Amino acid sequence: MSSERFRNALKGVPQATPPIWMMRQAGRYHRHYQELRKKHSFVDLCRVPELAAEAARGPVADFDFDLAILFSDLLFPLEALGLALTYEDSGPKLEPKLDASQLSKFRRLEDAIPRLEFQREAMRLTRAALPADKSLIGFVGGPWTLFVYAVEGSHQGSLRKSKADPALYRAFADRMVPVLIENIRLQLDGGAEVVMILDTAAGEPSPDWFRRELLGDLLPLAKAFPSRVGYYSKGSQPAHLRDPRLAETPFAGMGVDWRWDMTEAFGMFGSRGFVQGNFDPTLLFLSPDAFADALKRWLEPLAALTPAERRGWVCGLGHGLLPATPEENVRTFVRIVREMFH
């Protein structure tokens, strides 16, 4: 029960048509999600497995994406460890802000993991709700991104407080990495084919700092589940990810944002798993005709490559769908990609 296109991307089998999925494809831009939110809170959509399954199913049914992704939130492991998590109109709120005293109060691993079990059941019900020819993936946040949220309250801005306390990060990561390993395990047990590490703050540190301080916390996640864990970092540059340890670690694939040239990404990662990306999500706000032109211009150099040269490609956005994105342009995206690559 999975998408043949996604299976081929995972195995590096050359194919004409890439699979398509987009981060936040079940989100505020979509009428299906909006109707669910009229009746249920965001937390209930995440925590009630039947609702999470319906939220994930909707965009696959509507736009014919090749993949569904678990409907959840990357901050729940922080809540499982003991931080208070609420969701307001302005976004998530964690209390209190992380410091050494809060870290000492974190729950033990065996007490934290049961608080994430709802994701396993949500994954199982999502798989049951999807057509047999669609794939299902999960996700967790990267240790650094979760640290930034816990310290700063968001991943926006200079991240001064996060960067100023490397000792606190190290103590946090030592606690968080085992939680993430078990979080990934329960999602895989529930039916995920791959679990993505979504590291939205990982591009903010310098490449040297990323490779020296952060990369070592990502490698155990992939090594625990060979070829079942993918990695995406927003804002990263080739220098962040040009490290021999990445080449030696069995990641399922890599995702890049719109700042990357896809041909460079294929060259760096295409021989070892999927390569996800990377149209600029803000361009979906163009008028329909202008959007179609921009999309075709982006696709033309990729269409000039042979299937072998772009093997592993998972087509989508450089980051997630933004609120108020026109549904018409999402539908057009899927149609044009499949017309140009068939």
Contact criterion met (CB below 8 Å) for 82 and 71: no
Q: What is the dihedral of CA 261, 267, 273, 277, to 10 degrees?
A: 10
| Residue 321 confidence (pLDDT) above 80 | yes
Q: What is the pTM of this model?
A: 0.96
Bond prior to 323 in cis (omega within 30° of 0) = no
Question: For position 91, what pLDDT does the model report?
Answer: 79
SS3 83: coil
Interval 245-270: pLDDT, tens: 998 999 999 999 999 999 999 999 98
Backbone angles phi and psi of 144, in degrees to 5 = -65, -45
Length of the chain: 342
- Tokens 């669609």 sit on residue: 134
Question: For position 216, what pLDDT does the model report?
Answer: 97
* Residue/partner pairs of 161-166 with CB below 8 Å, 24 or more apart: 162/201, 163/204, 163/205, 163/209, 166/213
Beta strands in 176-327 (DSSP E): 194-199, 229-233, 253-255, 274-279, 313-317
Burial class, 90, CB count within 10 angstroms (exposed 0-12 / middle 13-18 / buried 19+): exposed
Region 274-278: mean pLDDT is 96
**135-141 vs 194-199, strand pairing mode:** parallel
Confidence of residue 157 (pLDDT cuts 50, 70, 90): low
**Cα 192 from chain centre:** 13
Q: Which residues pair with 316 in a beta bridge?
A: 278
Contact criterion met (CB below 8 Å) for 53 and 85: no
Query: What does the longest C-alpha to C-alpha distance in the chain come to?
Result: 57
Interval 206-227: pLDDT, tens: 999 999 999 999 999 999 999 9
Q: Which tokens go with 277?
A: 């990306």
Q: Which tokens go with 267?
A: 């060259």
Region 56-83: mean pLDDT is 98
Region 192-209: mean pLDDT is 96
Mean pLDDT of the chain: 95
| Residue 139 confidence (pLDDT) above 70 | yes
For residue 127, the one-letter residue type is R
Domain hosting residue 97, numbered range: 4-340
Q: Which tokens go with 289?
A: 């005709």
Confidence of residue 152 (pLDDT cuts 50, 70, 90): confident
Q: What is the CATH number of the domain that holds 33?
A: 3.20.20.210
Interval 22-45: pLDDT, tens: 999 999 999 999 999 999 999 999
Question: For position 155, what pLDDT does the model report?
Answer: 67
| E strand or H helix that includes residue 67 | strand 67-69
**91-95 vs 84-88, strand pairing mode:** antiparallel
Q: What percent of the chain is modeled with pLDDT above 70? A: 99
Contact criterion met (CB below 8 Å) for 210 and 177: no
Q: How many domains does the chain have?
A: 1
Within 8 A by CB and 6+ apart from 101, the residues are none
Contact criterion met (CB below 8 Å) for 123 and 72: no
Confidence of residue 159 (pLDDT cuts 50, 70, 90): confident
